[in-house]
Chains A and B, each alone.
Chain A
């Protein structure tokens, strides 16, 4: 537990968040008295997040993508303690600054100066600590001339600059940003990203929600894809954004590959394989309208850093593939997503980075017609093994003394080393 705490800046364990939607709102004594006589109207449960587990390592920059209502904002509010989970646990290890809205907490009648101090104290910083940061914030926000003007007279750009300036100068260990960079001009956005890169290089953990897939791609190390409250995918930013963008493409007529990924024993996407563990590979397919997958074939290939084709396998798909489990128990959200999974038992890989390629082919015709192809990177960790080379092969060392008679092998055979 202690080790897990230090490795992760943020950890979600089986986190669910439920909201109860009352069709009849009961928020007054009047309603309450009426309710004593007349039974209460129907209430609907709504799970904004369901069984979400993942960890964000210290210093990592992770992007959260997903459609509206996928649970992104709920996830951020759980990280920032604005909401508490209905079940499960959220661990946050580090001082957190949340930018869910630029200038949240600003009072329009107060000057920029007063608002800087007020905002600082909202995050638990006292006057002295803020005074130290004050000049830098004002310089960043380019508000030297307007710092004593009430913020209600600020332009939206000035407002955004001040909000962002405060956020990045609070030296947060964890910075949570929700879609706030959309405001402001390109110049401002560039400036913000420069500042964020600086924080990143200093080891700040950043959680970043954006509808702009490209900024997630370019700025984040990893990304998580939410859909209907479920964590559909987590992994390298490029792969997950690809997955997301393909999900958004509603009207693709034929089957397509959304993503290929390795999953751990809990069914959660991972980009790491420990030497000695089974390698489980999932290829997520999209079959529009739940169309049959008969006649399609899937190929998996492993290629090492040097470009050597280590392994390849292929299979014809059955007519009906199971829907994606996506690491959570229920997946009605993406009914078109099917999963083809393969397990390679304890691959004898020593370490390094692998390319994992999945190819969807049409096997009906003679020969093979490529429909779609996806790939991802996988890091194999050695797990304390000593040895060199691409492969880790099971082996024994044997020592034998000089034979007393030629041709007769000594039975003395000492196994010194066994993996």
Chain B
């Protein structure tokens, strides 16, 4: 395991290059490039705002567009990472069969390039906050911590899913359904406060994304004080998942060549 980790460090330039490749390819193929990737969450924000403030009138969340945008951007990172990451090995089968490099870097780079997308979209949140005259607090500096927690969690998850996908190709079907269910189980367009109080604790335990988005809401939307212990617990969950993913991936992909 240590040898594997050392190897990952040696190949770190591959992560940056794979991320750069992803971003370049993604933005090169369209005229507006990067701005298109911002347009998607903005349009989704409009849709959600319309549905939940105009169609369904009894939901009362102030500054709903900002509220939902925060959740959507964070969720987008998760959804795209899980979606693309699950198939990362199969998608690169040709490469895997021709060149040796730590295979782990393929799913990791998926998480990393979607993280870059996510972070590059922060200015949109800030702009929306400016436009709606919301308050910025110094707790904004806590943002990188939350990003790190989510990155840890996603890396672990994607390592596990991409390894499973090699052996069970219909993992993608389950992942598709799972993502939809997960989306509704996450406080993106509703408040944590509206969840049944006796379930909240369980719900936090089972869904790290709930904790992550709740914490994002705390520091950005409510302008409140983050709870370090709360994030530490989520971080531990992510870390456990990462270790499991690391071990499982190393085990499962030893005979990767013949399964692709």
Contacts and interface: CB of A to CB of B under 8 A. Distances in A.
Contact of A107 (B13, B21, B99, B101): B21
A387 to B, nearest CB: 49
Given A77-B257, A121-B11, A82 B100 contact: yes
A19 B174 CA distance: 29
B25 A29 contact: no
A123 interface: yes
A82 B24 contact: no
A170 interface: no
A210 to B, nearest CB: 17
Contacts of B193: none
Contacts of B167: 27
Given A83-B258, A124-B14, A29 B171 contact: yes
Given A82-B257, A114-B24, A29 B14 contact: no
Contacts of B101: 122-124
Contacts of B170: 28-30
Interface string B72-104: 000000000000000000000011111111000
B191 interface: no
Given A19-B258, A77-B257, A121-B14, 8 more contacts: A20-B258, A83-B258, A84-B255, A101-B98, A114-B24, A121-B16, A124-B14, A126-B12
B21 A83 contact: no
Interface of B: 10-14, 16-18, 20-21, 24-25, 28-29, 94-101, 167-171, 174, 254-255, 257-259
A127 B99 contact: no
Contacts of A104: 94-95, 98-99
A28 B14 contact: no
Interface size of A as a range:
20 to 34
21 contacts: A19-B258, A27-B167, A27-B168, A28-B170, A29-B168, A29-B170, A82-B99, A82-B257, A83-B257, A98-B100, A104-B95, A109-B25, A110-B21, A117-B17, A118-B18, A121-B14, A122-B14, A123-B99, A124-B11, A124-B13, A127-B16
A15 B174 CA distance: 39
Interface of A: 19-20, 27-30, 32, 77, 80-84, 96, 98, 100-101, 104-105, 107, 109-110, 114, 117-118, 120-127
Nearest to B254: A84
Contacts of B10: 124
9 nearest A-B residue pairs (beta carbon)? A104-B98, A126-B13, A121-B14, A28-B170, A121-B17, A81-B100, A121-B13, A83-B257, A100-B98
A109 B28 contact: yes
B99 A28 contact: no
A77 B258 CA distance: 11
Contact of B95 (A28, A96, A105, A109): A105
Nearest to B164: A29
Nearest to A81: B100
A115 B100 CA distance: 17
Contacts of A118: 17-18, 21
